[in-house]
Amino acid sequence: MHAYVHIVDDDASFRTALERRLKLAGYRVVTYASARELLDQMPDDEEAGCIVLDVRIPGMSGPELQSRLNELESTLPIVFLTGHADTATTVQAIKAGAEDFLTKPIASDQLIEAIDRAVARHQLARGQRTRLDSLRALLARLTPRERQVFDLIVCGRINKQIAHELGTTERTIKAHRHQVMEKMQVQSLAELVSIAERLGTRQSGAELKA
Amino acid sequence: MHAYVHIVDDDASFRTALERRLKLAGYRVVTYASARELLDQMPDDEEAGCIVLDVRIPGMSGPELQSRLNELESTLPIVFLTGHADTATTVQAIKAGAEDFLTKPIASDQLIEAIDRAVARHQLARGQRTRLDSLRALLARLTPRERQVFDLIVCGRINKQIAHELGTTERTIKAHRHQVMEKMQVQSLAELVSIAERLGTRQSGAELKA
DNA sequence: GGCTCTCCTGTCCCATGGTACAATATGAAA
DNA sequence: TTTCATATTGTACCATGGGACAGGAGAGCC
């Protein structure tokens, strides 16, 4: 609860009306008159919420703002609102990950449903991203050498091979390997490989010889 | 090349015109007058291709056919065509995985582009599915006991623990483990875990004790 | 110059994984 | 009944992983 809805629309009276309606539904609301305004304040991605975005707004258009937000890796789902939708714009927006695309005038119940869905999706995405981020943070703490060893371990190389490929001794690899398991907070090789797979850092094998 | 385009439209003259145009573009074409017709013949998912689907057709509608195909786990991408698109239908179709949603009359170049994209996507999806299917086939060849051992191995259990959990001896587990590595055609634990991760069979650990 | 961090190296010892060589028991299928 | 797949167990032996204990070399910072 207390999720944020960010409304971007150049029609002040519409913003106000929608704001009132959403606050009654239990949402916290922030309004913006333009894409620029939203980008300047850049809503916090960590707070549950979503964006309600008019397609035609002065300056940067709705879809332009969407692609900009995608570049910035925002995961806030977008619910588009528009007076007259053309099909190409609709298709493009949904393909780019918009949660919904609605036409004005819109029944407020229907809009709220879309917003609820968007917020729920954001919760999920946020949870996943948080889990991945913490894994990435662990990985980032490895020294360059440890990272090399990590890559070779999760490809199934044994210590002897790793030592040979890195031009050092088996004993040294054991030391690095120990550090890797320690820093990645895992007790088994299986967990380590699982992490590598989820982070997409695992190469299929031969690529690493280059 | 020689990809199949499956056209579903109740307008015979439209079908014929489009068929001619697509054959010139190098496609193989199969036409259907209704959703039923396509379902009866059920296009082969293994052949590269896509479906061009009119939204409003007698009997089962385009979107209904789409959801039916999804249930049947078809991976053939769908390009929708329609006279007058309403936004809700468009959004729903794209969310359900349609490659595109175009309005008639449509420039044939534009349609061909959409079909090219759809076919390309199908190639990718097919490749991925084929790879996963062959892994699943390997997994299916494990005996029930071997499968239990597999699950525990990829969760990071050591032989001793597995033996205890399955109420047998370490030596027995070694035998099963050998069979598992053999049947799954892997040389290292890392590869085995990677497969489990990609097939989504890997539990996070504690769940398996139940 | 000290201090810290990274990277590197060594020996001893034990736990674990893997293999070769064998063998038994059970149930289903031919 | 014979045959086969499955599941089971055993004894060795060796390779690999990993911990305990100990130390050195080079780079960057205060």
Among A84, A78, A77, A86, smallest CA distance to A106 is for A84
Distance of CA B52 to the CA centre of its chain: 18
Give dist(CA B10, CA B8) in Å, integer: 7
| Chain B contact set for A101 (CB, 8 A) | 87, 90-91
Q: What is the CATH number of domain B4-134?
A: 3.40.50.2300
Q: Please give the pLDDT value at position B106.
A: 85
Q: Please give the pLDDT value at position B208.
A: 52
Q: Please give the pLDDT value at position A1.
A: 63
**Residue B206's pLDDT band (boundaries 50, 70, 90)?**
low
Q: What is the CATH number of domain A141-209?
A: 1.10.10.10
Give dist(CA B50, CA A51) in Å, integer: 34
Mark which residues 151-190 of A lie under 8 Å from B by CB: 153-158, 186-190
> Buried b / exposed e across A4-41, counting CB within 10 Å, b at 16+?
bbbbbbeeeebbeebbeebeeeebebbbbbbbeebbee
* Interface size, chain A vs chain B, as Cβ–Cβ contacts under 8 Å: 69
> Which structure tokens are listed for B156?
């990071």
The predicted model scores a pTM of: 0.85
Does the A4-135 domain belong in CATH 3.40.50.2300?
A: yes
Please give the average per-residue pLDDT across A177-198, as a whole number: 92
What is the enclosing helix (H) or strand (E) of A175?
helix A170-183
Could you give the 3-state DSSP secondary structure of residue A81? strand
Do the Cβ atoms of B156 and A187 come within 8 Å?
yes
Give dist(CA B62, CA B64) in Å, integer: 5
Q: What is the pLDDT of residues A91-114, one digit of tens each?
A: 999 999 999 999 988 888 999 999
Domains A4-135 and A141-209 share a fold: no
Task: Specify the length of chain B in residues.
Answer: 210
Q: What is the pLDDT of residues B119-144, one digit of tens each?
A: 999 999 999 999 999 999 999 988 88
Phi, psi of A132 (to 5 degrees): -65, -40
Give dist(CA B82, CA B85) in Å, integer: 6
Query: What are the boundaries of each domain within chain A?
Result: 4-135, 141-209
Give dist(CA A73, CA B200) in Å, integer: 26
Phi, psi of A44 (to 5 degrees): -75, 125
